[in-house]
Structure 1
Amino acid sequence: MRAQRIIDRPQAEIMADRKRKRTELLYKLRRGERRVSDRLAQIFEMQNALDDRIISERGVLKSLDEWVTGITIAMESEIDEIRREVNWKWWKNPKPVDVAALQGEVIDMWHFVVSLSEKVGLTADDVYRVYCDKNAENHSRQNGTSEKEGYLAKSSDEG
């Protein structure tokens, strides 16, 4: 049995609008506009300032191993909080999804993803470049043109 999804009409319209905006942003990026990249750099700067404040005010001293471990544990906690916002329990009656709360939890996750990225030496430009490369590779895997085996989807004839 598949988990039920409840999305009322206004939420569906919001999601469609967001999808349209994402498509427009991707189109702008392909045309060479850097607006999104600049915003990502700003997010990195903001997170760096927050991390520096926390480290300074709380006297946090950690090795790279300790940072990676701590941040990934925090990310696991955020994943649980994200999951609590949706109807994943097939044995319970579904509830309306609070999209604003769900989005807040996803942004909490972004804080940790950006913080971890910085701790392992990735800048906003690095993230953009490596993401684009990995995204192209993932498309190649789905196309069956990657050097990695096992990704080409079977046709309906292959069963």
Structure 2
Amino acid sequence: MQSQDKLDQIFELQKKLNLKIGVDPTTMDQETRIQWLLNYTRAIGQELAELVDSIPWKWWAKYQKFDLQNARVEVIDLLHFLVSTAQLLGMSPEDLFEAYHKKHMVNVKRIDEGYHFKDENDCKHI
């Protein structure tokens, strides 16, 4: 497994973990796939809330402390659900990397040119 790309390894590990709980995108009908996409989207929202709870976001509350260790764990939990979502959408590690790269270039262009208006077509190629 050492010679594999790290993103390939993450996708493989997540596939195995999901199979352990009975989530197999290759055997899902559309209704089940949509339900799992909703499950993962809700889980991502919850993990984001847990990440926020690790950061002293109440500027008026002096008792809060930054929990770096837990914040890192929450980022990994987010990655679990994001990879699972990508897999449900039929994306491979290569697909994810390519889409990330294309979207990154859109974001760079927006920053360089000033993001003055929403262009509905600037992400159609991704």
Q: TM-score, normalised by structure 2?
A: 0.78
| Structure 2 counterpart of 1:44 | 11
| Residue correspondence of structure 1 range 50-69 to structure 2 within 5 A | 50-55=17-22, 63-69=32-38
Q: 1:49-87 CA distances to partner (integer Å, 9 max, x unpaired)?
A: 00001117xxxx761210111110011110110000001
Q: 1:150 Cα deviation (Å)?
A: 2.3
**Counterpart of 1:39 in structure 2: which amino acid?**
K
Whether 1:107 and 2:67 are equivalent positions in the alignment is: no
Aligned residues: 110
- Equivalent positions of 1:67-106 (< 5 A) are 67-93=36-62, 95-106=64-75
Q: CA RMSD in A?
A: 2.3
- Normalization by structure 1: what TM-score? 0.63
Letter matched to residue 10 of structure 2: I
Overall identity of the aligned pairs, in % = 30
Structure 2 counterpart SS, 1:102: helix
Which is higher, the Rg of structure 1 or of structure 2? Answer: 1
Structure 1: gaps spanning 5 or more residues:
1-34, 152-159
Equivalence for 1:125 = 94
List gaps (5 residues or longer) in structure 2.
Answer: 119-126
